[in-house]
Amino acid sequence: MLNIKSALGAGALACVLMCAAATSAMAEANFEGVWKIATPTGALKPVSGAVPFTAAGRKAYSENVKLRAQKKFDDYDIHTSRCSSPGVPRLALTPMRFKIWQRQKVVTFDFEFNRYLRQIDMRGVPVEEQLVPTMTGQSLGKWEGDTLVATTTNVSENTLIDDLVPHTSDMKVTERWRLVDPNTLENRLTIEDPAYFTKPWTSVVTYKRQPDALFPEDVCMDRLEHQKNLVPS
């Protein structure tokens, strides 16, 4: 027969387990909703100093600056020339709204711009490296208290970090997403790519909550065609 002492002990243990689970669940913040960048910009600026380019990184960057001046976008920025996904981390600078979903151990970013999509795998299980680097790469995430920490690798060299800064397929992006207040979301990004940067560098982008909305269809290629028709080459 269960005596009082052991019943109390079991109760206390159950409470410890349940309370720990509840605390952990509460620690996972809820980012769901519609968001938009607070200060639109094309450049991902380091929180301090300049982008710490290596010689090879600076050479590739300077080449992009030259190509932009010549308007040869397809030679360095296929997002601008043919609506290809800006990829990670450049999607963080999307000028239009995006919606965050936290469902089924996946955090999904549903972008208004060309209806791009990006997902962070929160399952916490080992995954195989993708054979082919992709625009949004492979993003694995976990919760550290109320902060979502996502690490992205295997990003195609065909994307840029922002509208000019290049990277190699060895780039690693660590994002720390957290709510500063209920209506302000912060993304603290750290970029590592030893071939192009002498040290990791960090940038912060913030977003403001927007009214819930259904996003209309958005076809980037139609915009490009329209522009071509407006300005015949």
Partner 1 sequence: MNLKSFVKAIALTALAVGVVAGPAWAHHSFNAYDMSRTVRQAGEIKEFRWGAPHASMVLAYKNKGKDATMSVVTGSPLAFSRQGFKPRDFHKGDKVVLVYHPNVNGLPGGAMSTLILPDGRTYKDTEAAAATPNAPAGGPTPTR
Q: Give me the least distance between CB of 70 and partner 1, in Å please.
A: 12
Stretch that binds partner 1, among 8-16, 93-101, 130-138, 141-149 (CB under 8 A): 130-138
225 touches partner 1 by CB under 8 A: no
Stretch that binds partner 1, among 11-19, 126-134, 173-181, 200-208 (CB under 8 A): 126-134
Q: Give me the least distance between CB of 161 and partner 1, in Å please.
A: 15
**Contact string 147-176 vs partner 1 (x = CB under 8 A):** ----------xx---------xx-------
By CB under 8 A, name the one of 2, 132, 214, 230 that touches partner 1.
132
Q: What is the 3-state secondary structure (H, E, C) of the chain?
A: CCCHHHHHHHHHHHHHHHHHHHHHHHHCCCCCEEEEECCCCCCCCCCCCCCCECHHHHHHHHHHHHHHHCCCHHHCCHHHHHCCCCCCCHHHHCCCCEEEEEECCEEEEEECHHHCEEEEECCCCCCCCCCCCECCCEEEEEEECCEEEEEEECECCCCCCCCCCCCCCCCEEEEEEEEEECCEEEEEEEEECCCCECCCEEEEEEEEEECCCCCCCCCHHHHHHHHHHHCCC
133 touches partner 1 by CB under 8 A: yes
Phi, psi of 100 (to 5 degrees): -105, 135
Q: In terms of CB distance, is 125 or 132 closer to partner 1?
A: 132
Count of chain residues binding partner 1 (CB under 8 A):
8
Footprint (CB under 8 A) of partner 1, residues 57-116:
75
Q: In terms of CB distance, is 63 or 222 closer to partner 1?
A: 63
Q: In terms of CB distance, is 64 or 203 closer to partner 1?
A: 64
- Name the residues that contact partner 1, by CB under 8 A: 75, 131-133, 157-158, 168-169
